């Protein structure tokens, strides 16, 4: 396991597990090309800023981190990474233990290289 930290927000992607991107307010699919434009706009000298973007489906405002990714992806300044741990998906109990140890909410991202 490797723990890492960064001065700037990094995008943590799920690699080949990348699927649809959905609006967390109404569940409509967000166009990947539009999402890529938002990714480009959001990234500056200091990394991602997570500005609010107006989704076209229901006029809600969401940051890139708040969008519903299938599979999960997200943005972080730190993380813990395990390569080929051979344990399958983390259980709710294991996730809760990580969150207790780290003292913050944890988003699990399964990257398929
Ligand atoms: Zn929507």
The predicted-structure confidence for 74-90, as pLDDT tens digits, reads as follows 999 999 999 888 888 99
Residue 112 lies in a domain: no
71 close to 110: Cβ distance less than 8 angstroms:
yes
Q: What are phi and psi of 61, to 5 degrees?
A: -115, 130
The alpha carbon of 19 and the centre of ligand 1 are apart by a number of angstroms equal to 17
CA distance 31 to 13: 17
The alpha carbon of 28 and the centre of ligand 1 are apart by a number of angstroms equal to 5
Residue 113 lies in a domain: no
Residue 54 lies in a domain: yes
Instruction: Say how many domains are in the chain.
Output: 1
CA end-to-end span of the chain: 17
Average pLDDT on 98-112 reads 93
pLDDT tens per residue across span 28-82: 999 999 999 999 999 998 899 999 999 999 989 999 999 999 999 999 999 999 9
Q: Which protein residues have their CB within 5 A of the ion that is ligand 1? A: 23, 25-26, 28, 55, 57-58
**Is the pTM for the entire model greater than 0.85?**
yes
Give the structural domain span for 54.
2-102
The alpha carbon of 21 and the centre of ligand 1 are apart by a number of angstroms equal to 11
CA distance 52 to 94: 32
Residue 35 lies in a domain: yes
């Amino acid at each position: 396991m490797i723990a890492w930290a960064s001065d700037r927000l990094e995008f943590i992607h799920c690699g080949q597990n990348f699927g649809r991107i959905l609006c967390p307010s109404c569940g409509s699919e967000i166009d990947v090309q539009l999402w890529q434009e938002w990714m480009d706009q959001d990234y500056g000298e200091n990394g991602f800023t997570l500005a609010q973007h107006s989704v076209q489906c229901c006029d809600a405002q969401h940051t890139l981190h708040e969008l519903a990714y299938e599979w999960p992806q997200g943005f972080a300044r730190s993380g813990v990474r395990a390569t080929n741990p051979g344990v399958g998906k983390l259980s709710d109990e294991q996730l809760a233990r990580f969150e207790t140890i780290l003292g913050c909410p944890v988003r699990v991202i399964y990257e398929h290289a």
